[in-house]
Amino acid sequence: MTSPTAIDELYVQAVLWLVDERGLEPVVRAACDALVAGLDGAELQSLAALSVHSSSYDSEVDQTVRAALAEQGRPLPPRGSDEATEAAVRAMAREALRGRWIPRELAAWAHRVIGHSGPALAQPLVNLDDCYDALDYSGDTEADLDAQVLSFCGSVVTD
């Protein structure tokens, strides 16, 4: 793994942890991978040394994650902010494009976690979950909706 790829993966895992989609373990593992890839820094080392058994949000852990990412030039958005939600949507979209999410499950995640009152960026994905629910009453097929989800993913992933 290259250094830029390692920091991108750390950022993705941290964002997903921030919105309670992932536990701390993938964040700590990504920090370890970043060190192995050649990145360095005291804060990154502190993050890699955290126990992976912490299952709930903790302000000290949050500070460690934020400090490690800031040290690497990738600041983490505030917890609960639209920016954090949008970053999570982009992270999940990236994973969907890599085949780690079934499109219908991604749309259901967006509807469940973000909902219709969330940021505008996520609304096409949230609305697609409604379309999946109405498949029996529309002219769409699941393959049509899957293609729309993946098209949305491609439009929000910036790299």
pLDDT band (50, 70, 90) for residue 4: confident
Q: Tell me the pTM.
A: 0.85
Q: Are residue 46 and residue 109 in the same domain, yes or no?
A: no
117, part of any domain? yes
83, 77 Cβ separation under 8 angstroms: yes
77, part of any domain? no
The token pair at 154 is: 């491609």
Q: Are residue 150 and residue 101 in the same domain, yes or no?
A: yes
Q: Are residue 25 and residue 59 in the same domain, yes or no?
A: yes
Of 71, 95, 112, which one is at a domain's C-terminal end?
A: 71
pLDDT at 103: 96
Maximum Cα interatomic distance, the chain, rounded to a whole number of Å: 57
76, 40 Cβ separation under 8 angstroms: no
pLDDT at 142: 95
Q: Are residue 104 and residue 61 in the same domain, yes or no?
A: no
The torsion defined by the Cα of 60, 114, 87 and 67, in degrees rounded to 10, comes to -10
Q: Are residue 64 and residue 88 in the same domain, yes or no?
A: no
62, part of any domain? yes
Q: Residue 95: give the domain boundaries.
A: 82-156
76, part of any domain? no
Query: Measured between alpha carbons, how far is 25 from 22 in angstroms, rounded to an integer?
Result: 8
- Model pLDDT for residues 24-58, shown as the tens digit of each residue: 899 999 999 999 999 999 999 999 998 887 655 57
Q: Are residue 136 and residue 110 in the same domain, yes or no?
A: yes
* Overall domain count for the chain: 2
- Model pLDDT for residues 68-99, shown as the tens digit of each residue: 999 999 999 998 899 999 999 999 999 999 99
DSSP per residue, the chain: --HHHHHHHHHHHHHHHHTTSS-SHHHHHHHHHHHHTT---HHHHHHHTS-TT--S--HHHHHHHHHHHHHTT-PPPPTTSHHHHHHHHHHHHHHHHTTSS-HHHHHHHHHHHT-TTS-GGGHHHHHHHHHHHTGGGSS--HHHHHHHHHHHHHHH---
Of 71, 94, 113, which one is at a domain's C-terminal end?
A: 71
pLDDT at 60: 82
Mean pLDDT for the chain overall: 91
pLDDT at 63: 92
Query: Measured between alpha carbons, how far is 10 from 64 in angstroms, rounded to an integer?
Result: 13
What's the burial of 18, exposed, middle or buried (CB within 10 Å: 0-12/13-18/19+)?
buried
